[in-house]
């Protein structure tokens, strides 16, 4: 009686054939990636995993990336960190050997992320995450609506023991992934009740900061600044990243989901804002600024949207974001375009003013090199950028870890996408830290800006109750 090989055996057999076809010389110590079509595996949400992992999801497009382990890591911090990180990546990319024997069409891909402040030392709860880095996963699962593939990445060695080590490590990672994907889900423990355990700064201190910022803006030299709040919560049960991302997938399908577990630190975000994407020579950015709540009743919800579209303070705040992005892209792009009026970007509980900005790359600047000029935008820092940065530093608002930094993916052809890290949480067992900010202008009301941050906290608080 014949036995059909398991999915793991089938994939490993094809990987073995691809490894055997690699040249014995010429690739020593180079990063090698092998992509295999895997219709027998499907990723819909983040599965429960051990060790280090990286996750990117676009639920509305049914596109997901899941990386396990690290084949290589590039890091940078301090002044011009993204330019230096870009130079490292380009050097790595030039030597990156990618094989796609099944002609799956998927590209070898790395994950990237960076903190808001180039000089943030990433201490305390952020200590497991670097200031800025690119991560090349050892095993990457690509999922689109109609296709799925695995990419194995490793440093190629010419010795037989090196190849044997690659085979054993690939088998281990594949077994871990398939076990996680095929494992029956654990019974949901029910609502994970949360209690707030801390706020920094205090509510009154933050409102005073907003009042002082408004006065300084009215005096000139500063048009907008974006202070932030941090709250700490404790749950009844340990917070499960896989359940959290599944909840965000259901609640916020139009957002970009990002999560990373690295050296014990777990960070998750469901952000509505794309910092920048590159597809061939087309560059796209989101300008978001101006926020109001949603309403369950359709007529009231439309009225709130109309109110936001015609609110002078929100329109001014949004215009500064658009102006900042266009100025940053001007040196890199031709045919820049942005509609004269924003539209509404509606989420589950919030709606924002949104403008899509597009341009065609006219030079050879990389995604990270352009991001270095773009970040931080007026949406997360303020305007003018230098003056806003000094205000944030003077008011202890700059050390934010990865909150309002950016994260995403880069492929071996130079394309990729970065999302601004908003609506995010840093997880640690039963505890989590959440972050939210608000754009302060000359017409800001401290109470209204406080209420806006509470609305933004609601995104992750609701999801955490299901984690």
| pLDDT score for 23 | 78
Confirm whether 187 is domain-assigned.
no
Mean pLDDT for the stretch of residues 192-210:
96
Mean pLDDT (the chain) is: 93
Domain shared by 106 and 224, yes or no: no
Please give the helix or strand (H or E) that residue 408 lies within, else none. Answer: strand 406-411
Domain boundary among 182, 213, 237: 182
Domain shared by 373 and 226, yes or no: yes
Domain shared by 220 and 147, yes or no: no
Domain shared by 84 and 166, yes or no: yes
Mean pLDDT for the stretch of residues 162-180:
88
Confirm whether 360 is domain-assigned.
yes
Phi-psi region of 414 (alpha: psi -120 to 50; beta: other; left: phi over 0): left
Domain shared by 106 and 215, yes or no: no
The parent domain of residue 158 ranges over 7-182
The answer to whether the bond into 36 is cis (omega within 30° of 0) is: no
**Top-confidence residue, 129 or 179:** 129
What is the distance, to the nearest Å, from the Cα of residue 220 to the centroid of all Cα atoms in its chain?
34
Domain shared by 212 and 315, yes or no: yes
Domain shared by 208 and 174, yes or no: no
Confirm whether 2 is domain-assigned.
no
Band of residue 157 on the pLDDT scale cut at 50, 70, 90: low
Find the CATH number of the domain harbouring 213. 3.60.120.10
Domain shared by 119 and 244, yes or no: no
Q: Tell me: pLDDT of 1 over 60.
A: no
Tell the residue number behind the tokens 């830290």, with chain if given: 433
> Tens digits of per-residue pLDDT, 212-236?
999 999 999 899 999 999 999 999 9
Q: Tell me: pLDDT of 148 over 90.
A: yes
Band of residue 383 on the pLDDT scale cut at 50, 70, 90: very high
| pLDDT score for 44 | 73
Please give the helix or strand (H or E) that residue 317 lies within, else none. Answer: helix 312-329
> Tens digits of per-residue pLDDT, 40-97?
788 878 898 989 999 999 999 999 999 999 999 999 999 999 999 999 999 999 999 9
Domain shared by 165 and 125, yes or no: yes
Domain boundary among 126, 147, 182: 182
Confirm whether 188 is domain-assigned.
no
Alpha helices in 183-202 (DSSP H): none
**Top-confidence residue, 230 or 160:** 230
Confirm whether 192 is domain-assigned.
no
Helix axes 367-374, 312-329, angle to 10 degrees: 140
* pLDDT > 90 in the chain, percent: 82
CA–CA dist 32, 155 (Å, integer): 6
Global pTM value: 0.95
**Top-confidence residue, 310 or 39:** 310
Band of residue 22 on the pLDDT scale cut at 50, 70, 90: confident
Alpha helices in 48-159 (DSSP H): 81-94
Mean pLDDT for the stretch of residues 283-310:
96
| pLDDT score for 376 | 96
**Cβ atoms of residues 308 and 448 within 8 Å:** no
Domain shared by 178 and 202, yes or no: no
Confirm whether 407 is domain-assigned.
yes
Domain shared by 167 and 216, yes or no: no
The lowest-confidence range among 26-35, 249-258, 350-359 is 26-35
Band of residue 294 on the pLDDT scale cut at 50, 70, 90: very high
Alpha helices in 148-266 (DSSP H): 160-182, 203-219, 241-251
Confirm whether 372 is domain-assigned.
yes
| pLDDT score for 2 | 53
Please give the helix or strand (H or E) that residue 15 lies within, else none. Answer: helix 7-20
Please give the helix or strand (H or E) that residue 388 lies within, else none. Answer: helix 385-394
Domain shared by 112 and 218, yes or no: no
Confirm whether 101 is domain-assigned.
yes
CA–CA dist 452, 437 (Å, integer): 8
Per the structure, the count of domains in the chain is 2
Domain boundary among 182, 216, 240: 182
β-strands 31-37, 97-99: how paired? Answer: parallel
> Tens digits of per-residue pLDDT, 271-281?
999 999 999 99
Those residues whose C-beta lies under 8 Å from the C-beta of residue 110, and which sit 6 or more positions away, are 89, 134, 135, 136, 137, 409, 410, 411
């Amino acid at each position: 009686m014949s036995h059909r090989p398991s999915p793991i055996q089938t994939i490993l057999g094809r990987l073995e054939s691809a490894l055997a076809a690699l040249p014995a010389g010429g690739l020593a110590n180079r990063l090698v990636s092998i992509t295999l079509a895997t219709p027998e595996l499907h990723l819909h949400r983040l599965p429960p995993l051990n060790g280090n992992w990286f996750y990117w999801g676009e639920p509305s497009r049914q596109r997901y990336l899941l990386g396990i382990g690290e084949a290589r890591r590039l890091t940078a911090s301090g002044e011009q960190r993204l330019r230096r990180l870009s130079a490292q990546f380009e050097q790595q990319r030039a030597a990156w050997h990618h094989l796609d024997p099944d002609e799956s069409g998927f590209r070898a891909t790395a994950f990237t992320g960076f903190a808001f402040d180039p000089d943030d030392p990433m201490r305390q709860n952020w200590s497991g995450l670097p200031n800025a880095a690119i991560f090349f996963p050892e095993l990457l699962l690509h999922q689109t609506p109609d296709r799925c593939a695995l990419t194995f990445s490793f440093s190629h060695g010419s010795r037989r023991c090196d190849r044997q080590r690659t085979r054993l490590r690939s088998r281990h990672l594949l077994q871990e992934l398939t076990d996680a994907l095929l494992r029956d889900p654990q019974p949901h423990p029910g609502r994970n009740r949360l209690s707030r355990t801390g706020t920094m700064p205090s509510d009154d201190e933050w409102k005073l900061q907003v009042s002082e910022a408004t006065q300084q803006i009215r005096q000139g030299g500063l048009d907008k600044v974006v202070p932030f709040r941090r709250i700490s919560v404790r749950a009844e049960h340990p917070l499960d990243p896989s359940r959290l991302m599944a909840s965000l997938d259901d609640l916020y399908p139009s957002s970009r989901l990002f999560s990373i577990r690295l050296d014990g630190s777990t960070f998750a975000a469901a952000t509505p804002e794309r910092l920048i994407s590159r597809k061939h020579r087309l560059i796209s950015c989101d300008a978001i600024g101006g926020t109001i709540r949603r309403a369950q009743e359709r007529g009231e919800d439309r009225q709130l949207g109309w109110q936001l579209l015609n609110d002078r303070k929100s329109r001014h705040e949004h215009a500064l974001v658009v102006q900042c992005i266009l100025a940053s892209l001007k040196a890199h792009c031709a045919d820049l375009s942005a509609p004269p009026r924003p539209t509404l970007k509606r989420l589950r509980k919030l709606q924002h003013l949104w403008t899509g900005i597009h341009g065609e790359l006219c030079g050879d600047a990389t995604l990270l090199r352009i991001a270095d000029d773009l970040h931080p935008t007026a949406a997360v820092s303020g305007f003018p950028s230098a003056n806003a940065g000094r205000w944030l530093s003077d008011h202890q608002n700059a050390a934010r870890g990865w909150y309002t930094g950016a994260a995403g993916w880069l492929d071996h052809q130079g394309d990729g996408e970065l999302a601004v890290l908003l609506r995010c949480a840093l997880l640690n067992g039963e505890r989590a830290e959440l972050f939210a900010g608000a754009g302060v202008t000359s017409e800001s009301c401290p109470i209204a800006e406080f209420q806006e941050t509470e609305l933004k906290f609601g995104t992750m608080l609701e999801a955490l109750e299901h984690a």
